[in-house]
Structure 1
Amino acid sequence: MGRWNGSSKARVRAPATPAGEMPLIIEPQLATLVDRHPASGDWSYEIKFDGYRMLARVESGAATLITRNGHDWTSRMPRLQKALASIEADNLWLDTEAVVLDASGKPDFNALQNAFDRRSTTDIVLFVFDLLWLNGVDLREQPLRQRRKLLLQLLDAVESPLIRFSDDFADDPASLVASACKMQLEGIIGKRGDAPYRSGRSPDWIKLKCKSRQEFVIGGFSRVKGAKSGVRSLLLGVYEGDGSLRYAGNVAPHFTPSRAAAFAKRADSLRQTKSAFHNAPVPERDRDFHWLAPDIVAEVSFLEWTPSGEIRHPVFQALREDKPASAVTQEKAGTTVDDLAVESVGAPRERTGPRGTVFVRDIRISNPQRVMDKVSGLTKLDIVRYYDAIAQWALPYLHCRPLALVRAPDGIAGEQFFQKHSERARIPGIEELPASVYPNHARLLAANTPEALVGLAQMSVVEIHSWNGVAPDLTHPDRVIFDLDPDPALPWSAMLEAATLVKVVLDEIGLRSFVKTSGGKGFHIVVPLTRRQSWDEVKAFSQAVAQHITRVVPDRFSAVLGPKNRVGKIFIDYLRNGRSSSTVAAFSVRARPGLAVSMPIAWDELEEVKSGDQWSMLEAVKRQRFLYRDPWDGYWRTRQGITLAMRRAVGMK
């Protein structure tokens, strides 16, 4: 709501020396994308509005509305112009966002675009978040908190509901981001309260987004081969530091008929025979590519950037008229795995000792800069920091489970070792389970604390595998795992279909299942059990399930081990369900190029997953921090066992 206390308008005085003539143009301050909020400092947080950025200039009762790239849009918003002109001030500059709110009060970008398309802008409101100039005084050198204090006083006397103050929040920023994501907002903006206003991109303003989302230059489009009209996908690009345009993927647009016609008309004027991309995509067999001069800008949300510089799972949002194509570059988050190792409150878990030695949770990290993966350049310290940051989510699935560890002392390209026991070197933080839980064998290892995960990474452990049983009762497994291992020649769509089919079969026989990416080529389907059956019973049942699925869909599945038996098929690996067998744990890094992570997902997310190695270490932590629901919600509450009816359903006698 607009802030108005019913009092008469009062003149707000700016505590600064008059600066003379007011500038005709002020370039806006822009926020820097980051992956997490700062651990300390004088910061405030506001909602990131999904609208058009506008700077408003008012002088002698005349208001002007200017886009972030300097275009005058005053004539397109006459009601806002009138509302701004009513503010009691000789002259002023405001920094704002123009939005249209839906029925629930959330910004609706499509509704905003529709308003401009129909030339019916009466529903547009202006959220004001900064005051740059007031009554002949340049306020840009004043701290943000002082500017906003004056702004609030100024807007308290404004009666128009079209002019609203953008509130800030004192809550924990992680909670704010979670709430924003739950409400399906873009995210939040953080601003240093003690900083002046600085035009251009600045680290004093940061943005934390719910999903990756940014602008792209349209360098062309595709059509169905031979078609005379229509658009199958937009070919997207971003400018590199050397000024060249890099192809960054494609997205299917969602145009209304009027917008499709407008795009076609504009595209016709921009046609050219050669691609503007320095790495132009190769036209596909069933599509024609049409190249355009790089002038149109589209906003697209997506899951993440691939190592090759393209976007995964893109979703078209809108065409943008308010942003110049020449300014579109890849937005790179300003944090790395390094930043994820630091607590948002309290003392950091990482410190530097004498001669540059690094300690994480008081565990000394030897050779921290050793490159563990030459493809990504990630180091041993990156893996340490990842396991430290992911501990709160990984540990529940590791608690008191015997481990099998993959160590790579010289990096994943060197020799790798499989380890189940302490051997000669004691691993910091790791517990040895009592000998009684697995008699006549060396004592098994368990990771029950964050220090244990850091200790494993310090010992160059990359992969963490775990049993299907939990101490002290290692005679009865508490889960079944089906590892879907595809023929590498199969398309990813076959893997998605296979996972869905396995779920359907498990649903039909009465077993609830959960799914995670393997971090490699496929999926792991996890079925929690109450600990009633023996290892032999559970393994026999898992084999029967695999064979039953193979009988039902013989052209897609195999239940027989060996590459020759899965040509054109997916092997349902049930062999991981025997005693002392293990499977890579949820959130474990994989010792493969890129160091991807095995990531739990919800079944309704399945179609959004593009590969088994989709999540990097950084993206895994980012995802967990900003999730508004647990993808495995209900896992720990599931109480189910293998019944006689289930055995009969899969052909067991």
Structure 2
Amino acid sequence: MTDWRRHPIRRSIGDMPLPEPVAPMLAVPGPVRDSEGWAFEWKYDGVRCQAAVSGGQVRLYSRRLRDVTATYPELAVLGRDTRTLLIDGEVVALDEDGRPDFGRLQQRMNLSAPTPARLSSVPVVFFAFDLLREGTRDCTGLPYEERRDRLLGLGIDRPQVRVRRHFLASDVEGAELLRAAREVGLEGLVSKRLGSAYQPGVRSPDWVKTPLTRTQEVVIAGWTTGEGRRSGTFGALLLGLHDETGLRFAGHVGTGFTDRMLDDLQARLRPLARRTSPFDSPVPREYARNAHWVKPELVGEVEFRQWTSDGRLRAPSWRGLRPDRRPEEVTLA
């Protein structure tokens, strides 16, 4: 049986084959691992990306292994390297103060051919944090510490490409780094076990993410009619996530939208209309009576305060669509 986690997407240019991407290794949520044998990396607010490089050519792949090379043409600078490499990292848009800004990145994520004006107004940076292949060598089985040393030794840093910094737990306290991340507006911290291999497609306890704000991926299952200045669009999105019973109702979100987001979402939701609820359990009447149901195909992300006792998001605010996520992957974070 084919292992889907290593199922290849074959690409080649001329006689120079590019490395095949692999399903990315994922982190589990949890507290900072502030002990010997661990290292820390900043958690940036961006989207996962693998860069395949060979013979001066580049291909970029999303978390879902879709080819997104045309979406981020400025990262073609990686092609100046003639070596064969497969690098895991994150695409980030920075604000005027050099901090990751997910809202700005939203203006690039869905564009297959960004205009020169958009490239100029919303440039992106590729933050590399892992080396999966170097030449003919598969590096995924090497310890994290060795992969990081090899990555740093590549010398790939340039304005559009940076190697994400890491810190050893033996040198600095994770709690101190987490405080620093909060002060400068970063998303949080990732703890990584020094001796761990890269496990394609696995959400492993060898990587632990500690976010500073609570976020949750959600499936859009419907919407309610807007009122007042939003009478021409929706008032709120009806949200769901998957558990052992199927798609369950997780609440609604009506804040955090820009005018551009409202228009874009309305256009995306219109062709997904359906007559019945997509949820596998009843939706409270106060939401169902005014609902416009849609096929649960779009994934987004919200920031929220906490979960209510009945399993709904409290005070959620919309952050944006996540085209790099599959609806069936959306479960309780």
Q: Quick one: distance in 2 between partners of 1:316 and 1:131?
A: 33
Give the alignment partner of residue 163 of structure 1, picking from 142, 161, 164: 161
Give the Å deviation of 1:115.
3.7
In terms of Rg, which structure is larger?
A: 1
Give yes or no for the alignment of 1:29 onto 2:31: no
Deviations 1:96-137 (A, max 9, x none): 101111121110111112245664235111000000000110
Q: Which residue of 2 aligns with 1:210?
A: 212
Structure 1's 96 and 159: CA in aligned 2 closer, same or farther, altered over 3 A? closer
Aligned 8 A contact 1:41 1:192 in 2: no
Structure 1's 137 and 210: CA in aligned 2 closer, same or farther, altered over 3 A? same
Aligned 8 A contact 1:221 1:289 in 2: yes
- Between the two proteins, the alignment pairs up a number of residues equal to 305
- Residue type of the partner of 2:90? E
Q: Quick one: distance in 2 between partners of 1:51 and 1:298?
A: 14
Structure 1's 84 and 39: CA in aligned 2 closer, same or farther, altered over 3 A? closer
Q: Which runs of 5+ in 1 are unaligned?
A: 1-20, 332-653
Give the alignment partner of residue 63 of structure 2, picking from 51, 61, 68: 68
Give the Å deviation of 1:279.
3.0
Aligned 8 A contact 2:33 2:208 in 1: no
Give the Å deviation of 1:254.
3.3
Structural mapping, 1:361-400, within 5 Å: none
Give the Å deviation of 1:60.
2.2
Give the alignment partner of residue 250 of structure 2, picking from 234, 248, 252: 248
Q: Quick one: distance in 2 between partners of 1:93 and 1:148?
A: 13
Q: Quick one: distance in 2 between partners of 1:23 and 1:88?
A: 13
Q: Which residue of 2 aligns with 1:128?
A: 128
Give the Å deviation of 1:74.
0.3
Aligned 8 A contact 1:224 1:288 in 2: no
Aligned 8 A contact 2:92 2:101 in 1: yes
Paired residue secondary structure (1:294) = coil
- The TM-score normalised by the length of structure 1 is 0.45
- Residue type of the partner of 2:317? V
Structural mapping, 1:521-532, within 5 Å: none
Give yes or no for the alignment of 1:59 onto 2:54: yes
Deviations 1:602-633 (A, max 9, x none): xxxxxxxxxxxxxxxxxxxxxxxxxxxxxxxx
Q: Which residue of 2 aligns with 1:102?
A: 95
- Residue type of the partner of 1:240? D
Structure 1's 225 and 86: CA in aligned 2 closer, same or farther, altered over 3 A? closer
Q: CA RMSD for the aligned pairs?
A: 2.3
Q: Which residue of 1 aligns with 2:330?
A: 328
Deviations 1:522-549 (A, max 9, x none): xxxxxxxxxxxxxxxxxxxxxxxxxxxx
Q: Which residue of 2 aligns with 1:43?
A: 38
Deviations 1:371-412 (A, max 9, x none): xxxxxxxxxxxxxxxxxxxxxxxxxxxxxxxxxxxxxxxxxx
Q: Quick one: distance in 2 between partners of 1:102 and 1:74?
A: 22
Give yes or no for the alignment of 1:281 onto 2:305: no
Give the Å deviation of 1:86.
0.9
Paired residue secondary structure (2:271) = helix
Give the alignment partner of residue 313 of structure 1, picking from 312, 315, 321: 315
Q: Which runs of 5+ in 2 are unaligned?
A: 1-16
Structure 1's 214 and 147: CA in aligned 2 closer, same or farther, altered over 3 A? same
Q: Quick one: distance in 2 between partners of 1:225 and 1:104?
A: 36
Q: Quick one: distance in 1 between partners of 2:247 and 2:219?
A: 9
Q: Which residue of 1 aligns with 2:138?
A: 138
Paired residue secondary structure (1:176) = helix
Q: Quick one: distance in 2 between partners of 1:182 and 1:214?
A: 22
Q: Which residue of 2 aligns with 1:179?
A: 180
Structure 1's 303 and 257: CA in aligned 2 closer, same or farther, altered over 3 A? closer
Give the Å deviation of 1:22.
6.9
Q: Which residue of 2 aligns with 1:596?
A: none
Structure 1's 105 and 287: CA in aligned 2 closer, same or farther, altered over 3 A? farther
Give the alignment partner of residue 232 of structure 2, picking from 221, 229, 234: 229
Paired residue secondary structure (2:297) = strand
- Residue type of the partner of 2:174? P
Aligned 8 A contact 1:22 1:136 in 2: no
Aligned 8 A contact 1:224 1:286 in 2: no
- Residue type of the partner of 1:126? F
Q: Quick one: distance in 1 between partners of 2:192 and 2:302?
A: 25
Give the Å deviation of 1:234.
1.0
Paired residue secondary structure (1:96) = strand
Structure 1's 100 and 136: CA in aligned 2 closer, same or farther, altered over 3 A? same
Q: Which residue of 1 aligns with 2:152?
A: 152
Report the structure, 1 or 2, having the larger strand content.
2
- Residue type of the partner of 2:25? Q
Give the Å deviation of 1:260.
2.0
Paired residue secondary structure (1:293) = coil
Q: Quick one: distance in 2 between partners of 1:276 and 1:112?
A: 30
Paired residue secondary structure (1:261) = helix
- Residue type of the partner of 2:80? S
- Residue type of the partner of 1:131? L
- Residue type of the partner of 1:129? F
Deviations 1:573-610 (A, max 9, x none): xxxxxxxxxxxxxxxxxxxxxxxxxxxxxxxxxxxxxx
Paired residue secondary structure (2:192) = strand
Give the Å deviation of 1:41.
4.0
Q: Which residue of 1 aligns with 2:13?
A: none
Paired residue secondary structure (2:286) = coil
Aligned 8 A contact 2:34 2:173 in 1: no
Give the Å deviation of 1:253.
4.1
Give yes or no for the alignment of 1:92 onto 2:85: yes
Aligned 8 A contact 1:32 1:201 in 2: yes
Give the Å deviation of 1:287.
7.2
- Residue type of the partner of 1:50? D
Structure 1's 25 and 61: CA in aligned 2 closer, same or farther, altered over 3 A? same
Deviations 1:535-574 (A, max 9, x none): xxxxxxxxxxxxxxxxxxxxxxxxxxxxxxxxxxxxxxxx
Q: Quick one: distance in 2 between partners of 1:111 and 1:224?
A: 25
Give the Å deviation of 1:225.
7.5
Give the Å deviation of 1:245.
0.3
Q: Quick one: distance in 2 between partners of 1:314 and 1:222?
A: 16
Q: Quick one: distance in 2 between partners of 1:99 and 1:285?
A: 36
